[in-house]
Amino acid sequence: MNEADIKIRGIKKVFSLGSKSVHALNGIDLDIKKGELICIMGASGAGKSTLLHILGTVERPSDGTITYDSKDVFTMSDEELSDFRNKKIGFVFQFHHLLPDFTALENVIMPALVGGISKKEAIDRGSVILSELGLSDRLEHKPSELSGGEQQRVAIARALIMNPELILADEPTGNLDTTTGNLVFEMLLKSSEKYKTTLILVTHNEEFSKDMPRLIRLRDGRIEEDIRR
């Protein structure tokens, strides 16, 4: 086995709630190869979202290390982490988090503009990705003018705009009906395969897990199963 592109060692996360401490993660060890498609499942409170937030460098762990291509990311300053996150990681959440006063295209290109890409190149990139996701006629529509499935496809396009190495999707179909959710899931898979992006998907949907080559089940902040198909 080659050196893992993402290496997680001894990750713990403790939250303080008044006088109590909640142990959300209790020592996670994981190797993730570039281009892997991974599904993470577990009951509510198992630590799925917390692990995703730490993988995405949105939260720092209480203990342990995460290395991306041998770089220990949590040795970076907050400013360095923010730049790393913008360029290397795309996020898709259960709620699309689109800005209501901006068009679909404007929402998609924002990470690119923040990352220093010219407006012209950002618009070109965003238009291509939205078209690939079946939204070529929705570029100038605002979120309120889009269906739930279309809004999530815009969120996927926004996640892809910087050509990230990793996409983290936290219950991306949880707010959609079954048919629309299946469509969004298929588009996530196809986009990840097309752009050779590592995809880590948190879901409660057992059917989705069957289509993922690797399934990780969490329980009480620990890995209960790690199945490769």
Residue 172: per-residue pLDDT:
81
Q: Tell me the pTM.
A: 0.86
Q: For residue 199, list its beta bridge partners.
A: 37, 167
Query: Average pLDDT for residues 57-74, to the nearest whole number?
Result: 92
pLDDT at residue 4 is higher than 80: no
Q: How confident is the model over 33-59, as pLDDT tens digits?
A: 988 999 999 988 889 989 999 999 999
**Cα-flanking dihedrals φ and ψ of residue 26, to 5°?**
-125, 40
Evaluated on CA atoms 150, 147, 50, 114, the torsion sign reads positive
Output DSSP code: residue 111. Answer: H
Residue 171: per-residue pLDDT:
84
Neighbours of 22 (CB within 10 A): 12
Q: In angstroms, rounded to a whole number, what is the distance separating the alpha carbons of residues 199 and 40?
A: 11
pLDDT at residue 189 is higher than 60: yes
8 A C-beta contact, residue 40 and residue 51: yes
Q: Round the CA-based radius of gyration of the chain to a whole number and report it.
A: 18
The CATH number of 34-62+71-228 is which of 3.40.50.300, 3.30.413.10, 3.40.50.720, 3.30.70.1450?
3.40.50.300
Q: Are strands 6-17 and 214-219 parallel, antiparallel or unpaired?
A: unpaired
Q: Is 18 left (phi over 0), alpha (psi -120 to 50) or beta?
A: left
Evaluated on CA atoms 14, 16, 20, 24, the torsion sign reads negative
pLDDT at residue 6 is higher than 90: yes
pLDDT tier, 17 (very low <50, low <70, confident <90, very high otherwise): confident
Q: What's the mean per-residue pLDDT of the chain?
A: 89
Residue 192: per-residue pLDDT:
84
CB under 8 A, 24+ apart: contacts of 55-60 = 55/6, 55/8, 55/166, 55/168, 55/200, 56/85, 56/89, 56/91, 56/166, 56/168, 57/81, 57/84, 57/85, 57/89, 58/85, 59/13
Query: What residue segments make up the domains of the chain, in order of their start?
Result: 34-62+71-228
What share of the chain in percent tops pLDDT 90? 52
Q: In angstroms, rounded to a whole number, what is the distance separating the alpha carbons of residues 215 and 33?
A: 14
pLDDT at residue 207 is higher than 60: yes
Q: How confident is the model over 116-130, as pLDDT tens digits?
A: 999 999 999 999 999
Residue 184: per-residue pLDDT:
81
Burial of 161 (0-12, 13-18, 19+ CB in 10 A): buried
Q: In angstroms, rounded to a whole number, what is the distance separating the alpha carbons of residues 166 and 2?
A: 18
